[in-house]
């Protein structure tokens, strides 16, 4: 989340918290761009008008390899138009002050897409017992094969 607005942060934190969605807060565009460049983020909430460089951050996120398909919520405060936010890559746009009911309805629509976007980045440990036999039915090895995130453990 990119904002410096305490009221917006409270609404987003409460609404997202009830849906089980965690937040990472960034107060400046440069640190948000740096975070988005380092790793995949499932979704972004960007305070487009009240954080300097926020629209640049939105455009950078949309052009990044890892986050170009992430869900982006743009929050406007009269300076940026809805069409400009959408053209920059926002999936959802709301004006300040953002009612929790509006944010929740956007989130309800976005959660399935966030889940789909999250799946390729999920890693689960898998452990399977493996027994190898020779043609004479002699057991050669009995071991546990473990794979975590595409790498043998």
* pLDDT exceeds cutoff 70 at 149: no
Say if residue 103's pLDDT is above 60: yes
User: Per-residue pLDDT averaged across 18-37, rounded?
Assistant: 91
Mean pLDDT of the chain: 84
| CA dist., res. 146 & res. 127, Å (int) | 4
**What pLDDT, on the 0 to 100 scale, is given for residue 60?**
94
Q: Which residues of 4-21 are buried (b: 16+ CB within 10 A; e: fewer)?
A: ebeebbebbeebbeeeeb
CA–CA gap between residue 23 and residue 25 (Å, rounded): 6
The 10s digit of each residue's pLDDT in 50-62 is 999 999 999 999 9
- Whose tokens are 């499932």? That residue is 42
CA dist 33 → 28, 36, 46 (Å)? 9, 5, 11
Split at pLDDT 50, 70, 90, the class of 19 is confident
| CA separation for the pair 54, 15 (Å, rounded) | 22
């Amino acid at each position: 989340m990119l904002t410096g607005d305490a009221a917006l942060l409270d609404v987003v934190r409460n609404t997202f918290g009830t849906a089980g969605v965690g937040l990472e807060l960034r107060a400046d565009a440069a640190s948000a761009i740096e975070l988005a460049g380092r790793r995949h983020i499932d979704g972004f909430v960007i305070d487009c008008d009240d954080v300097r460089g926020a629209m640049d951050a939105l455009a950078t996120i949309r052009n990044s390899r890892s986050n170009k398909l992430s869900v982006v919520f743009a929050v406007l405060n009269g300076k940026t138009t809805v069409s400009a936010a959408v053209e920059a890559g926002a999936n959802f746009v709301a004006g300040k002050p953002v009612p929790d009911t509006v944010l929740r309805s956007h989130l309800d629509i976005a959660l399935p897409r966030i889940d789909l976007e999250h799946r390729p980045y999920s890693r689960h440990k898998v452990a399977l017992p493996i027994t190898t036999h020779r043609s004479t039915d002699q057991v050669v090895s009995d071991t546990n094969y473990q794979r975590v995130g595409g790498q043998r453990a």
